[in-house]
Structure 1
Amino acid sequence: MNRYGLIVILMSLAACSGTRNYSDGEAFRADSRHSRDFSVAPDPVCEAARRVLLRDGYIVQPGAGERLIGVKEFQVDENQQAQLRLYVNCSARTAGSTLFVTATEEHFDIKTSRKSTSVGIPLLFPISVSNSSEVDAQVKVRGEMVRDKGFYERFYRGVNQELAR
């Protein structure tokens, strides 16, 4: 193998190692999944979004101004739970409003932590004192932004239906 081939292989390995820096991929381009323009004022659009979330079983946490957070939980199995969160912002624009929506899906699992302690001197004093405990805790095992365009389209369709009522 020649010297240049070895350099290319070493550079490739170096590029693949290390942690991924997600901020490098951010271009801040508009993405139709996350915003939709409406020809009505922000207040009715935000109210329609709130009703869509409530109608679908989300718990809606009011935010400051024209912001909402909708949360819905799903029991995956005995120890696992998933949670969908929708972050909704209504913003005024010249000829109406824009609805911004981002959704995240997070998964949680029950993890058991065991701790035991034993104190004693077996050769001199044959009695020892021990203590053990188990604690169950809910731990986030995965989380990511929802990228499915169909998910967002269904939400916007629901907002349009609510506005038409």
Structure 2
Amino acid sequence: MFKSFPMRVAGLALVLAAAAGCSSKKAAIYEHENFDDSGTFSRNYPVTDSASCEAARRALLSQGYIITSSDPKLVSGHKSFQQTGETHMEISFSVVCAEDGSAGHHATVFANALQDQYALKKTNNSASLGVGVLGSVSMPIGSSDDSMVKVASETVTSHKFYERFFTLVELFLPKEAKEAAHITEKPKTELGMPEPKAAPASLTPDAGAAAAPAAEAAKESPASEPVAPPAEAAPITATPSAEPAPAAQIITPPANPSDMPPPAEPIKAMPITGQ
């Protein structure tokens, strides 16, 4: 019995040493902070600190963030997201602009986003009911208070998240500064912004625009049978109008029949004889 006691102590020591070794492998959270210049949270722009913060403010406003600061060198804003009926998320953005002090008036923009998560917490209320014989009895009334409680808070460290933000800030920089720094504007589709819709065509197009689709349709349509030329119309001949008939001569007889002249005798033709 006494010989097994040292063996038990040795076994317990080994277990404690193994547990200590396992716990030592877990590094503290601050050990991940290397303080290296990864370029995730800052960018340098060839403008003053006020101009760079103004571009950052416009970038956040264009994405629906509510700005809560009025300092020309500090921009703060937040945006809410409702994931489910019982969870809520909020992103708080903080931007600080610091001038480098160089002759070219360059400024460095530092951005930091904090993600807070909230959950719905229900609290039931109860009341005490006093009874003369039994004493006080606690009975639930049935009412409850619902409130959002912060359950998590974390700094956003995604490189792509900040890359999209700083690229959007470049769009709102002054045009002269972008030309001096040779900053090329990226298309808005890469930033997740929709392209503007094309303007609708006029309702009354000109003759040239209307003839172009007709010509294209004629090229694409299959060859049809030859169409016979229209028959020539028969010549129209004008019929001369009939001459008006002469008016009938009206002979009025004399009042005395004896005054009428005798009818003339017909002239007889004389035979011609040869000599």
Match runs of 1:134-145 below 5 Å: 134-145=144-155
Q: CA deviation at 1:16?
A: 6.4
Distance in 2 (CA, whole Å) between partners of 1:94 and 1:127 is 74
| 1:62 match: secondary structure | coil
Change (3 A) 1:126 1:102: closer
Match of 2:18 in 1: 9
Identity %: 27
The list of structure 1 runs, each at least 4 consecutive aligned residues, that deviate by more than 4 angstroms after superposition, is: 2-8, 125-131
> 1:84 corresponds to which residue?
91
- Residue 24 of structure 1 and its aligned partner are, at CA, apart by 4.5
- SS of 1:163's equivalent? coil
Out of 2, 11, 29, the position equivalent to 1:22 is 29
Q: Which amino acid letter does the alignment assign opposite residue 106 of structure 1? A: D
Structure 1 position 56 matched with structure 2 position 67: no
Q: Given residue 30 of structure 1, which amino acid in structure 2 is its aligned partner? A: D
2:172 is matched with: 162
Q: TM-score, normalised by structure 2?
A: 0.51
1:94 — aligned with what? 101
Tell me which moved more, 154-163 or 23-32.
Answer: 23-32
Q: In the alignment, which residue of structure 2 is the partner of 1:113?
A: 123
Extract unaligned runs of 5+ from structure 1.
Answer: none
Deviations 1:2-46 (A, max 9, x none): 8896564132244368xx853454343333111111111101100
Pick closer, same or farther for the CA change 1:42–1:120 going to 2, 3 Å: same
Number of positions where the alignment pairs a residue of Structure 1 with one of Structure 2: 162
* Superposition TM-score, scaled by structure 1 size: 0.81
Do residues 146 (structure 1) and 156 (structure 2) align?
yes
Tell me how far apart the structure 1 counterparts of residues 138 and 89 of structure 2 sit (CA, whole Å).
Answer: 41
Write out per-residue CA displacement over residues 77-121 of structure 1, whole angstroms, 9 at most, x where no aligned residue. Answer: 222221111110000103310000011111112211113132435
Structure 1 161/117 Cα, relative in aligned 2: closer, same or farther at 3 Å? same
Cα drift, residue 75 of structure 1: 1.3
- Name which one, 1 or 2, has greater alpha-carbon Rg: 2
Counterpart in the other structure of 1:103:
113
Change (3 A) 1:42 1:127: closer
Change (3 A) 1:125 1:49: same
3-state SS of 1:83 partner: strand
In 1, the alpha carbon distance for the partners of 2:20 and 2:56 equals: 50
Amino acid at match of 1:150: K
Match of 2:54 in 1: 47
Sort the Cα spacing of 1:139 and 1:16 in 2 relative to 1 into closer, same or farther, 3 A. farther
CA RMSD across the alignment = 3.0
Give the structure with the larger strand fraction.
Answer: 1
What is the alpha-carbon distance in structure 1 between the residues aligned to residue 166 and residue 75 of structure 2?
Answer: 15
Tell me how far 1:64 sits from its aligned partner. Answer: 4.3
Tell me which residue corresponds to 1:35.
42
